[in-house]
Structure 1
Amino acid sequence: MASSSSLTLFFCLFFISLFLSLSSSLNPRRPISSRSNGIDLFSSRNLDRPSLTADDIHDLLPRYGFPKGLLPDNVKSFTISDDGDFTVDLTSPCYVHFSDQLVFYGKNIAGKLSYGSARDVRGIQAKEAFLWLPITAMESDPSSATVVFSVGFISKTLPVSMFENVPSCSRKLYLQDS
Protein backbone atom coordinates (compact mmCIF):
# COMPACT_ATOMS: atom_id res chain seq x y z
CA MET A 1 0.00 0.00 0.00
CA ALA A 2 2.84 2.40 0.81
CA SER A 3 4.43 1.83 -2.61
CA SER A 4 1.09 2.53 -4.34
CA SER A 5 0.72 5.91 -2.61
CA SER A 6 4.38 6.74 -3.36
CA LEU A 7 3.82 5.95 -7.02
CA THR A 8 0.66 8.12 -7.09
CA LEU A 9 2.54 10.98 -5.44
CA PHE A 10 5.38 10.63 -7.97
CA PHE A 11 2.96 10.84 -10.94
CA CYS A 12 1.14 13.83 -9.43
CA LEU A 13 4.41 15.70 -8.93
CA PHE A 14 5.56 14.74 -12.44
CA PHE A 15 2.39 16.08 -14.09
CA ILE A 16 2.42 19.26 -12.00
CA SER A 17 6.02 19.99 -12.99
CA LEU A 18 5.24 19.21 -16.64
CA PHE A 19 2.24 21.54 -16.57
CA LEU A 20 4.23 24.34 -14.93
CA SER A 21 7.06 24.06 -17.45
CA LEU A 22 4.63 24.14 -20.39
CA SER A 23 2.58 27.03 -19.04
CA SER A 24 5.67 29.13 -18.29
CA SER A 25 6.83 28.74 -21.90
CA LEU A 26 3.55 30.10 -23.29
CA ASN A 27 3.15 33.82 -23.86
CA PRO A 28 -0.62 34.44 -23.91
CA ARG A 29 -0.26 38.13 -24.79
CA ARG A 30 1.84 37.60 -27.94
CA PRO A 31 0.02 39.62 -30.59
CA ILE A 32 -0.72 38.03 -33.93
CA SER A 33 -0.91 40.36 -36.87
CA SER A 34 -2.57 40.14 -40.25
CA ARG A 35 0.93 40.70 -41.58
CA SER A 36 2.26 37.42 -40.18
CA ASN A 37 3.04 36.12 -43.71
CA GLY A 38 3.18 32.37 -43.32
CA ILE A 39 3.47 32.07 -39.55
CA ASP A 40 0.72 30.17 -37.77
CA LEU A 41 -1.66 32.65 -36.20
CA PHE A 42 -1.97 30.57 -33.06
CA SER A 43 0.39 28.47 -31.01
CA SER A 44 0.16 24.76 -31.77
CA ARG A 45 0.00 24.23 -28.00
CA ASN A 46 -3.39 25.94 -27.87
CA LEU A 47 -5.57 23.21 -29.36
CA ASP A 48 -8.93 24.97 -29.04
CA ARG A 49 -7.95 27.66 -31.57
CA PRO A 50 -7.61 27.37 -35.32
CA SER A 51 -4.05 27.13 -36.54
CA LEU A 52 -3.88 29.07 -39.78
CA THR A 53 -2.54 32.03 -41.64
CA ALA A 54 -4.81 34.74 -42.93
CA ASP A 55 -4.15 38.02 -44.62
CA ASP A 56 -7.85 38.94 -44.57
CA ILE A 57 -9.98 38.80 -41.45
CA HIS A 58 -12.99 37.93 -43.61
CA ASP A 59 -11.28 34.58 -44.34
CA LEU A 60 -10.61 34.07 -40.63
CA LEU A 61 -14.17 34.65 -39.36
CA PRO A 62 -15.65 31.38 -40.75
CA ARG A 63 -12.91 29.42 -38.97
CA TYR A 64 -14.33 30.86 -35.77
CA GLY A 65 -17.90 29.89 -36.71
CA PHE A 66 -18.95 33.35 -37.93
CA PRO A 67 -20.02 34.46 -41.40
CA LYS A 68 -17.38 36.46 -43.29
CA GLY A 69 -19.67 39.48 -43.71
CA LEU A 70 -19.82 40.53 -40.07
CA LEU A 71 -17.19 43.18 -40.76
CA PRO A 72 -17.21 45.76 -43.56
CA ASP A 73 -14.90 45.86 -46.57
CA ASN A 74 -12.62 48.65 -45.29
CA VAL A 75 -10.53 46.64 -42.79
CA LYS A 76 -7.02 48.11 -42.71
CA SER A 77 -5.42 45.66 -40.24
CA PHE A 78 -6.20 43.26 -37.41
CA THR A 79 -4.48 41.42 -34.58
CA ILE A 80 -5.48 38.42 -32.49
CA SER A 81 -3.53 37.33 -29.43
CA ASP A 82 -3.22 33.77 -28.17
CA ASP A 83 -5.81 34.44 -25.46
CA GLY A 84 -8.38 35.66 -28.01
CA ASP A 85 -8.06 39.42 -27.57
CA PHE A 86 -8.59 41.01 -30.97
CA THR A 87 -8.44 44.43 -32.56
CA VAL A 88 -9.66 45.43 -35.99
CA ASP A 89 -8.68 48.78 -37.47
CA LEU A 90 -10.79 50.23 -40.27
CA THR A 91 -9.59 52.87 -42.71
CA SER A 92 -12.46 55.06 -41.44
CA PRO A 93 -15.62 54.75 -39.36
CA CYS A 94 -18.65 53.83 -41.45
CA TYR A 95 -22.26 52.70 -41.71
CA VAL A 96 -23.59 49.46 -43.18
CA HIS A 97 -27.13 48.37 -44.01
CA PHE A 98 -27.89 44.71 -43.31
CA SER A 99 -31.37 44.28 -44.76
CA ASP A 100 -33.42 46.54 -42.43
CA GLN A 101 -30.68 46.82 -39.77
CA LEU A 102 -28.36 49.87 -39.73
CA VAL A 103 -24.96 49.34 -38.08
CA PHE A 104 -22.17 51.79 -37.26
CA TYR A 105 -18.55 50.60 -37.14
CA GLY A 106 -16.05 52.79 -35.33
CA LYS A 107 -12.51 53.10 -36.64
CA ASN A 108 -11.31 50.65 -33.96
CA ILE A 109 -13.14 47.46 -32.99
CA ALA A 110 -11.96 45.21 -30.17
CA GLY A 111 -13.05 42.32 -27.99
CA LYS A 112 -12.33 38.72 -27.08
CA LEU A 113 -12.81 36.00 -29.72
CA SER A 114 -13.30 32.27 -29.29
CA TYR A 115 -15.06 29.74 -31.47
CA GLY A 116 -18.66 30.88 -31.99
CA SER A 117 -18.34 33.77 -29.54
CA ALA A 118 -17.13 37.36 -29.48
CA ARG A 119 -17.32 38.96 -26.03
CA ASP A 120 -16.50 42.38 -24.59
CA VAL A 121 -17.00 43.87 -28.06
CA ARG A 122 -16.30 47.59 -28.45
CA GLY A 123 -16.65 49.78 -31.53
CA ILE A 124 -19.90 48.50 -33.11
CA GLN A 125 -23.36 50.05 -32.65
CA ALA A 126 -26.75 49.05 -34.03
CA LYS A 127 -29.70 51.36 -34.48
CA GLU A 128 -32.95 50.31 -32.84
CA ALA A 129 -35.87 52.71 -33.16
CA PHE A 130 -34.28 56.09 -32.34
CA LEU A 131 -31.37 54.76 -30.29
CA TRP A 132 -27.83 53.72 -31.17
CA LEU A 133 -26.99 50.74 -28.95
CA PRO A 134 -23.48 49.32 -28.49
CA ILE A 135 -23.08 45.66 -29.48
CA THR A 136 -21.33 43.99 -26.53
CA ALA A 137 -21.29 40.33 -27.66
CA MET A 138 -22.03 38.02 -30.59
CA GLU A 139 -22.79 34.30 -30.53
CA SER A 140 -22.98 32.10 -33.60
CA ASP A 141 -25.48 29.24 -33.58
CA PRO A 142 -24.75 26.91 -36.52
CA SER A 143 -27.67 24.60 -35.69
CA SER A 144 -30.19 27.38 -36.36
CA ALA A 145 -27.98 29.33 -38.83
CA THR A 146 -28.28 32.47 -36.73
CA VAL A 147 -26.09 35.03 -35.01
CA VAL A 148 -27.23 36.43 -31.67
CA PHE A 149 -26.18 40.04 -31.00
CA SER A 150 -26.21 41.25 -27.40
CA VAL A 151 -26.62 44.76 -26.08
CA GLY A 152 -26.13 44.25 -22.38
CA PHE A 153 -28.87 41.85 -21.31
CA ILE A 154 -30.99 42.44 -24.44
CA SER A 155 -30.33 40.33 -27.55
CA LYS A 156 -31.43 40.15 -31.16
CA THR A 157 -31.17 37.06 -33.35
CA LEU A 158 -30.51 37.50 -37.06
CA PRO A 159 -30.07 34.91 -39.83
CA VAL A 160 -26.53 34.11 -40.99
CA SER A 161 -27.70 34.72 -44.55
CA MET A 162 -27.68 38.47 -43.84
CA PHE A 163 -23.90 38.30 -43.38
CA GLU A 164 -22.79 35.95 -46.16
CA ASN A 165 -21.26 38.74 -48.26
CA VAL A 166 -18.72 41.31 -47.08
CA PRO A 167 -20.68 44.59 -46.97
CA SER A 168 -19.55 47.89 -48.42
CA CYS A 169 -19.09 50.77 -46.05
CA SER A 170 -20.67 54.18 -46.36
CA ARG A 171 -18.93 57.03 -44.62
CA LYS A 172 -22.18 59.01 -44.40
CA LEU A 173 -25.46 58.38 -42.65
CA TYR A 174 -28.13 59.41 -45.10
CA LEU A 175 -31.07 61.44 -43.80
CA GLN A 176 -33.62 58.73 -44.58
CA ASP A 177 -31.61 56.37 -42.32
CA SER A 178 -31.46 58.67 -39.31
Structure 2
Amino acid sequence: MSMKTLAPVFVLTALFFLLPLTTTTTTIQDLLRSRGLPVGIFPNNVKSYQLDRDGRLEVELESSCMAEFDGRVYFDRVVTANLSYGGLVGLEGLSQEELFLWLPIKCITANDPSPGIILFDIVVAHKQLSISLFEVPPSCMPQEVMLEELDRKEGFGFQK
Protein backbone atom coordinates (compact mmCIF):
# COMPACT_ATOMS: atom_id res chain seq x y z
CA MET A 1 0.00 0.00 0.00
CA SER A 2 1.18 3.46 -0.76
CA MET A 3 1.37 6.29 1.74
CA LYS A 4 -1.54 8.03 0.00
CA THR A 5 -3.91 5.15 0.75
CA LEU A 6 -2.63 4.67 4.33
CA ALA A 7 -3.23 8.29 5.36
CA PRO A 8 -7.08 8.11 5.33
CA VAL A 9 -7.00 4.74 7.12
CA PHE A 10 -4.73 6.20 9.81
CA VAL A 11 -6.96 9.26 10.28
CA LEU A 12 -10.13 7.15 10.55
CA THR A 13 -8.47 4.78 13.02
CA ALA A 14 -7.26 7.69 15.16
CA LEU A 15 -10.74 9.23 15.18
CA PHE A 16 -12.29 5.89 16.14
CA PHE A 17 -10.10 5.68 19.24
CA LEU A 18 -10.39 9.35 20.19
CA LEU A 19 -14.17 9.76 19.90
CA PRO A 20 -15.05 7.63 22.94
CA LEU A 21 -12.83 9.91 25.04
CA THR A 22 -14.96 12.95 24.33
CA THR A 23 -17.92 13.52 26.59
CA THR A 24 -21.17 15.25 25.92
CA THR A 25 -21.66 18.29 28.11
CA THR A 26 -25.04 18.25 29.77
CA THR A 27 -26.55 20.82 32.06
CA ILE A 28 -27.72 20.19 35.59
CA GLN A 29 -31.25 20.59 34.24
CA ASP A 30 -30.68 17.74 31.76
CA LEU A 31 -29.37 15.54 34.56
CA LEU A 32 -32.31 16.31 36.85
CA ARG A 33 -34.83 15.66 34.06
CA SER A 34 -33.19 12.30 33.27
CA ARG A 35 -33.57 11.30 36.92
CA GLY A 36 -37.27 12.17 37.19
CA LEU A 37 -36.78 15.50 38.97
CA PRO A 38 -37.99 18.95 37.92
CA VAL A 39 -35.36 21.19 36.31
CA GLY A 40 -35.89 24.12 38.69
CA ILE A 41 -34.58 22.59 41.91
CA PHE A 42 -31.23 24.33 41.51
CA PRO A 43 -30.96 28.06 40.71
CA ASN A 44 -29.83 29.66 37.48
CA ASN A 45 -26.26 30.32 38.71
CA VAL A 46 -24.91 26.75 38.65
CA LYS A 47 -21.25 26.91 37.71
CA SER A 48 -20.60 23.15 37.45
CA TYR A 49 -21.61 19.80 38.83
CA GLN A 50 -20.08 16.37 39.33
CA LEU A 51 -21.83 13.05 39.68
CA ASP A 52 -19.75 10.07 40.78
CA ARG A 53 -20.47 6.40 40.11
CA ASP A 54 -22.10 5.98 43.51
CA GLY A 55 -24.66 8.70 42.74
CA ARG A 56 -23.06 11.40 44.90
CA LEU A 57 -23.90 14.75 43.30
CA GLU A 58 -21.93 17.91 43.99
CA VAL A 59 -23.29 21.15 42.55
CA GLU A 60 -21.11 24.26 42.60
CA LEU A 61 -22.81 27.63 42.31
CA GLU A 62 -21.12 30.87 41.29
CA SER A 63 -21.77 32.09 44.84
CA SER A 64 -24.03 31.34 47.77
CA CYS A 65 -27.44 32.91 47.27
CA MET A 66 -31.13 33.02 48.08
CA ALA A 67 -34.10 32.15 45.88
CA GLU A 68 -37.88 31.95 46.23
CA PHE A 69 -40.07 28.89 45.79
CA ASP A 70 -43.02 29.23 48.15
CA GLY A 71 -40.67 30.88 50.65
CA ARG A 72 -37.02 31.84 50.82
CA VAL A 73 -34.40 29.16 50.22
CA TYR A 74 -30.68 29.54 50.88
CA PHE A 75 -28.10 27.76 48.71
CA ASP A 76 -24.51 27.39 49.92
CA ARG A 77 -21.87 27.79 47.24
CA VAL A 78 -21.62 23.98 47.14
CA VAL A 79 -24.67 21.72 47.53
CA THR A 80 -24.24 17.95 47.80
CA ALA A 81 -26.68 15.04 47.84
CA ASN A 82 -27.13 11.42 46.84
CA LEU A 83 -29.02 11.44 43.55
CA SER A 84 -31.43 8.63 42.80
CA TYR A 85 -34.37 8.42 40.45
CA GLY A 86 -36.94 10.89 41.76
CA GLY A 87 -34.94 12.08 44.74
CA LEU A 88 -32.08 13.97 46.32
CA VAL A 89 -31.25 12.39 49.69
CA GLY A 90 -28.78 13.53 52.34
CA LEU A 91 -28.78 17.10 51.07
CA GLU A 92 -26.15 19.44 52.48
CA GLY A 93 -25.92 23.14 51.71
CA LEU A 94 -29.62 23.88 51.26
CA SER A 95 -31.99 25.41 53.82
CA GLN A 96 -35.43 27.00 53.87
CA GLU A 97 -36.90 29.71 56.05
CA GLU A 98 -39.86 28.52 58.12
CA LEU A 99 -41.42 30.84 60.71
CA PHE A 100 -38.29 33.00 60.99
CA LEU A 101 -36.04 29.94 61.40
CA TRP A 102 -33.63 28.58 58.82
CA LEU A 103 -34.00 24.80 58.67
CA PRO A 104 -31.88 22.44 56.59
CA ILE A 105 -33.58 20.60 53.76
CA LYS A 106 -32.46 16.98 54.04
CA CYS A 107 -34.35 15.33 51.19
CA ILE A 108 -36.31 16.27 48.06
CA THR A 109 -38.56 13.62 46.56
CA ALA A 110 -40.58 13.90 43.37
CA ASN A 111 -41.86 10.34 43.11
CA ASP A 112 -44.62 10.84 45.65
CA PRO A 113 -47.81 8.92 44.86
CA SER A 114 -49.61 12.23 44.33
CA PRO A 115 -48.85 13.48 40.82
CA GLY A 116 -47.71 17.07 40.59
CA ILE A 117 -46.33 17.14 44.15
CA ILE A 118 -42.74 17.44 45.32
CA LEU A 119 -41.88 16.61 48.91
CA PHE A 120 -39.30 18.55 50.96
CA ASP A 121 -38.03 16.91 54.16
CA ILE A 122 -37.15 19.87 56.40
CA VAL A 123 -35.79 18.11 59.50
CA VAL A 124 -38.89 18.60 61.67
CA ALA A 125 -41.57 18.37 58.98
CA HIS A 126 -42.42 17.26 55.47
CA LYS A 127 -43.57 19.98 53.14
CA GLN A 128 -45.57 19.26 49.99
CA LEU A 129 -45.21 21.77 47.17
CA SER A 130 -46.63 21.96 43.69
CA ILE A 131 -44.12 20.67 41.17
CA SER A 132 -45.10 23.65 38.97
CA LEU A 133 -42.95 25.85 41.27
CA PHE A 134 -39.90 24.03 39.90
CA GLU A 135 -40.51 24.23 36.15
CA VAL A 136 -37.83 26.89 35.65
CA PRO A 137 -34.56 27.39 37.57
CA PRO A 138 -35.14 30.29 39.97
CA SER A 139 -33.13 33.48 39.93
CA CYS A 140 -30.70 33.42 42.79
CA MET A 141 -29.61 36.64 44.47
CA PRO A 142 -26.91 37.31 47.02
CA GLN A 143 -28.35 37.22 50.53
CA GLU A 144 -27.85 40.95 51.03
CA VAL A 145 -29.82 41.82 47.89
CA MET A 146 -32.71 39.52 48.86
CA LEU A 147 -32.89 41.04 52.35
CA GLU A 148 -32.86 44.58 50.93
CA GLU A 149 -35.73 43.70 48.58
CA LEU A 150 -37.69 42.18 51.46
CA ASP A 151 -37.03 45.33 53.50
CA ARG A 152 -38.40 47.54 50.69
CA LYS A 153 -41.46 45.34 50.11
CA GLU A 154 -42.50 45.02 53.72
CA GLY A 155 -41.23 48.34 55.07
CA PHE A 156 -39.16 46.82 57.86
CA GLY A 157 -36.09 48.58 59.16
CA PHE A 158 -33.81 45.57 58.94
CA GLN A 159 -30.66 45.86 61.03
CA LYS A 160 -27.47 44.35 59.68
Which range, TM-score by smaller chain?
0.7 to 0.9
Aligned length: 128
3-state secondary structure, aligned to 1:66: coil
CA RMSD of aligned residues (A): 1.9
**CA deviation after TM superposition for structure 1 residue 135, in Å:** 0.4
1:74 aligned to 2:45?
Answer: yes
3-state secondary structure, aligned to 1:124: strand
Other-structure match for 2:87: 117
**CA deviation after TM superposition for structure 1 residue 38, in Å:** 4.6
Say which structure, 1 or 2, has more relative contact order (CA 8 Å, 6+ apart). 2
Inter-CA distance 70–38: structure 2 relative to 1 (3 Å threshold):
farther
Could you tell me which amino acid in structure 1 is paired with residue 135 of structure 2? E
1:135 aligned to 2:105?
Answer: yes
1:85 aligned to 2:56?
Answer: yes
Q: What TM-score results when the alignment is normalised by the length of structure 1?
A: 0.66
3-state secondary structure, aligned to 1:70: coil
Identity of aligned residues (%): 35
For structure 2, the 5+ residue unaligned runs are: 1-20, 152-157
CA distances 1:95-128 after superposition (whole Å, capped 9, x unpaired): 1112x31111110000100001111100111011
Q: 119, 123, 142: which one pairs with 1:152?
A: 123
CA distances 1:7-30 after superposition (whole Å, capped 9, x unpaired): xxxxxxxxxxxxxxxxxxxxxxxx
Q: What TM-score results when the alignment is normalised by the length of structure 2?
A: 0.74
Could you tell me which amino acid in structure 2 is paired with residue 114 of structure 1? S
For structure 1, the 5+ residue unaligned runs are: 1-36, 40-52
